[in-house]
Amino acid sequence: MRMTVGLGTLFLIFKVLSYGLAEKSPCITGFESNLLVFKVHKDHLHKGERLGRVVFNTCDGRTGTDFQSTDQEIDLNMDGTLMMRRSVTLHEGLKEFSVFARDSSGKKHMVSVRVEHVRYHEDHDMNTLMNTSSVQMESPYDDLVLTFPKSLTGLKRLKRGWIVPPISISENSRGPFPKRLVQIMSEFASETRMAYKVTGEGADLDPKGIFQIDRLSGWISVTQKLDREQKASYKLVAHATGVDVNIANKPMEIYIIVTDQNDNKPVFTQNPFKGHVPEAAGKGEVFMTVTATDADDKENTDNADISYAIISQDPPSPKPNMFAINPVSGGISMLETGLDREQWSSYTLVITATDMNGEGGSTTGTAIITVTDSNNNAPNKPDNKPVFTQNPFNGSVPETAGKGEVFMTVTATYADDKENTDNVDISYAIISQDPPSPKPNMFAINPLSGGISVLETGLDREQWSRYTLVITATDRYREGLSTTGTAVIAVADSNDNAPLFASNWVIPPISVLENSKGPFPVRLVQINTNYAAETQMEYKITGEGADMDPKGIFQIDKLSGWISVTQPLDREKKGSYHLVAHAKGLDGDIKEKPMWIAVTVIDQNDNKPVFTQSLINGNVPEAAGKGEVFMTVTATDADDKENSNNADISYSIISQDPPSPKPNMFAINPVSGGISVLETGLDREQWSRYTLVVMAADMNGEGLSTTATAVITVTDPAV
C-alpha cells in the first residue's frame, strides 16, 4: 500500500474537488484540464510517434505557445502536439510527466500528463485523450496529490482521496477508554457542517463496536483493549457528508495495525514428550524432538523466537548431563555414552521453552526417555490441584457497566492427565474483594465458566479506581483440592478524554516497534506536498535522529519523500523523536512551510526487573507476630509502565534456608515487596539467620524475572 501524507494541511483530510456552478464564464487563461491521460494500446512507443495534444487557452489571440516538458523523452510543438523524441518502453504500463506554459504576463501554468497502456478491447480508439472532467480518470496509479479542474457542472464526487498511513495501536494498551486515535476532517467543513461516520471491521462489522467516531468532530476512538493474537489489523472506511447540503466526500480507507506485545508464553505441543533411545546410542545421535509454539508476532519481533534448554535430568546417572538439546530445533541427542538399561531404564528431563531467543517468557515441560523399548507408562492416580492459567488476572470494567455485564474471565486447568482421569471439573468462587466499597459484593463469578460480572451498581473510578479479588478454583469432586489466585480489576472512566494532537501536526504520531526486525532501512511514511503537482520538489528532514543526536536514525529520499528508519530502536534509550520535514522546489521558487512529525517508539518487554540491591539485609524480632512486616525489597523495571504492564512487578519467595521450624516462615507482599512473618516459632538459639531467595517478575508476575537474596537475622528481644 502506498502511504502519502500532504504537507501544509491540518489533520488527516479528505482532499476534495472545489466545485463550481454550471454557468458560463469568460475566457480563463490556462490549460483546459489539470490532468490529461493519453491511452495507448502498446507498451513500446517509437521515435516520432504522436501521443496527442495539450490545449492552452491564451485568451489573447496567440496561435502558438512555448511549451516545456519535465520528460526529456517528449517533444512539444508550439500547437501543443506531443511526440516521442526517442523510442521508449512503458515500464509497468505507465509514464507520467508535467507540461508547463507561460501566459502573456509571464505566469507559469502546469498540466499533469499520464500515458497509459491499455488493452485494445478496453478502448476502440488507438490513442485516446481523457481529461479530469471525466469520472473515468480513476486509476490505481493515481498519485495522492489532488488537482482541480477549472469548472464542473453540478456536484460530483471525486474518485480519489488521501490514503492514510496505517495507525499503530499497541495491544493491551491501557485506557481510559474510549481512547482517541485520529481526527478526520473534510475541507468542506470550512464552508458547511459535515457529518462523519466509520464503517468496516470493528465498527459496524464484526467484531462490532471496537472503534467509534464522533459524528461532528470526526474523532475516531478505540473503545477497548485490543489483542493482536485475536485480530492483528482492521480496515475501516471513513465517510463525510454535508449536514445541510447535498455534498459528500469520497470514502477514505483507514488501516489500524495492532502491534505485538510479548504477552504469550511458549506452549509445548504436548506434555510430556515420550521418546526412546537405544542403549548403545553414540554421542550426537538425535533420537527425539520437542516442539513449542508461541502466539506472538514472529515476523516483526523476536517475541515468538523460541529457545529450548534442559533444566534437570532424573536420575543424574551415570552422569548428570547425559543428554543435550538443540536450542533452535528442540532435538534431543546423546551428549555422553554409558546408558545401561539394567540400571537406569528411563530418564525424565525437565525442559524449558523460552521466547525472545531465551530472554523472554518461558514454560516448562517434561521429556520421558525410555532406554530401549519399555512399556511402563501406566497412568498414575491423579492427585494435583487445579492451576490458574495466569496469576494475577487483569481486567477492566466501565464505570457505567450494568448488572450482569461480564467483563473478564479467569481460567484454571488440571495438572492431571486428562486422557486417563475424569477429575477435571473445576468450580470458581470469589473469596474476598478489596476494597469492600461501595458494597462488599460488587462482583460475581460464574462457578462453571469463570466469567466475572458486575453484581451491584455504584462503581466510581474517582473513589475506587481498582479492585482486587481473591478467587479460588476447586475440584468439584475431591474435597480440599483447590488453589487461590487474584483478579485485579481497573475501573475505566467513561468521561475521560485522550489528549489532543498538537494543532500543527498533519499526521498522527508514527509508531515504530522497538527491537523491530529489518532488513533496514524500513520505510515508515511518505510525505508529499501539493506543489509537487506543479514542479519537482525536494524533501529533507531535520531534528532528533536526523541531523541532531542521535544522528542518522532516520533518513529521507529527497525526491520521493519516503522517510525510513535505519536501525532497530530502543524505547528505554529514547521513547520518541521529533522530526521536521521540509520541502522546496528544485528551481528554488517554491518553499513549503515545515511540518512536524512525531515518531513514537512502542515498548516491548525486553527489560527484566532489577533489584535495587542484590543482597538485602533485615532483622526480625524473635517474638514477632504473624503479619508483622519487618523489611522490604524493591526492584525497578525500565519498560513502559504508563501504557502497558511490562513494568508492573510482582514479588514472590522462591526458597527459605533453613526450612525450619516450617518451610514457609515468611511471606512477601506481591505488590509492595514487604516481607512479613507468616508463621510463629522463630527461635534465635536454633535458627539465628534465614536466607530467602526472592523473585521479581514483570507483567504482574507473568513476564521476565530476576532473583535476589534477603538475609534475615533473628534478634533476641532480651538483648
**The domain that contains 334 carries what CATH number?**
2.60.40.60
Residue 146's pLDDT is what?
A: 22
Phi, psi of 79 (to 5 degrees): -90, 5
Residues 91 and 198 in one domain: no
Residue 470 and residue 486: Cα distance in Å, rounded? 5
Tell me how far apart the alpha carbons of residues 696 and 333 are, in angstroms, rounded to a whole number: 34
pLDDT tens digits, residue range 88-131? Answer: 888 767 788 888 888 877 777 877 788 887 754 433 333 333 33
Q: Do 180 and 116 fall within a single domain? A: no
Indicate if 122 and 24 belong to the same structural domain: yes
Q: Where is pLDDT greater, at 654 or 113?
A: 654
> Can you tell me the distance from the alpha carbon of 135 to that of 68, in angstroms, rounded to the nearest whole number?
27
Among candidate residues 344, 342, 337, the one with its CA nearest the CA of residue 368? 344
Q: What is the pLDDT of residue 476?
A: 63
Range in 7-11, 187-191, 434-438, 557-561 the model is least confident about:
7-11
**Which residue range is the domain that position 92 belongs to?**
17-137
Shared domain for 324 and 356, answered yes or no, is yes
Question: Does residue 233 fall inside a structural domain?
Answer: yes
Could you tell me what percent of the chain has a pLDDT over 90?
Answer: 28
Domain boundary among 602, 635, 670: 602
Same domain, 223 and 249: yes
- 170-179, 528-537, 541-550, 639-648: least confidently modelled range: 528-537
User: From residue 660, how far is each of 245, 325, 688, 690 by CA, in Å?
Assistant: 83, 38, 11, 9
pLDDT beyond 90 at 519: no
Q: Is residue 479 part of a domain?
A: yes
pLDDT tens by residue, 186-195 = 777 777 788 9
Please check the confidence at residue 449 and state whether its pLDDT lies above 70.
yes
Number of structural domains found in the chain: 6
pLDDT band at residue 156 under the 50/70/90 scheme: very low
239 and 184 assigned to the same domain: yes
Backbone angles phi, psi at 325, to 5 degrees: -130, 135
Residue 396 has pLDDT above 60, yes or no: yes
Based on the domain organization, do 122 and 198 belong to the same domain? no
Residue 334 or 160, more confident: 334
Q: Which of 43-57, 101-115, 281-295, 607-621 has the weakest average pLDDT? A: 101-115
**Residue 498 within any structural domain of the chain:** no
Closest to 412 measured CA to CA, from 425, 422, 421, 423: 425
Mapped onto helix, strand or coil, the DSSP state of residue 583 is strand
Q: Report the pLDDT averaged over residues 692-713.
A: 91
Q: Is the peptide bond before 207 cis (omega within 30 degrees of 0)?
A: yes
- pLDDT value of residue 70: 82
- 132 or 249: whose pLDDT is higher? 249
The string of pLDDT tens digits covering residues 525-557 is 777 776 777 788 889 999 999 999 999 999 999
pLDDT for the residue 251? 85
User: Which is more confident, 167 or 573?
Assistant: 573
- Are 77 and 25 contained in the same domain? yes
Q: Which of 673, 671, 672, 682 is nearest to 626 (CA)?
A: 682
Q: Are residues 628 and 663 in the same domain?
A: yes
Are 394 and 364 members of one domain? no
Buried b (16+ CB within 10 A) or exposed e, 680-718: eebebeebeebebebbbbbbbbbbbbbebbbebebbeee
Closest CA relative to residue 535, chosen from 110, 213, 227, 95: 110
Statement to judge: residues 431 and 515 lie in one domain: no
Q: What is the pLDDT of residue 454?
A: 92
The residue from 236, 259, 282 where one domain ends is 259
Please tell me whether residues 332 and 277 are part of one structural domain: yes
Predicted TM-score (pTM) of this structure: 0.38
All three cell numbers of 403, joined, read 448488572
Looking at residue 164, what is its pLDDT? 52
Mean model confidence pLDDT for the chain: 78
**Domain-located, residue 2:** no
pLDDT at position 585 over 60: yes
The three three-digit cell numbers of residue 574, written as one number: 529514547
The H-or-E segment that residue 357 falls in is helix 355-358
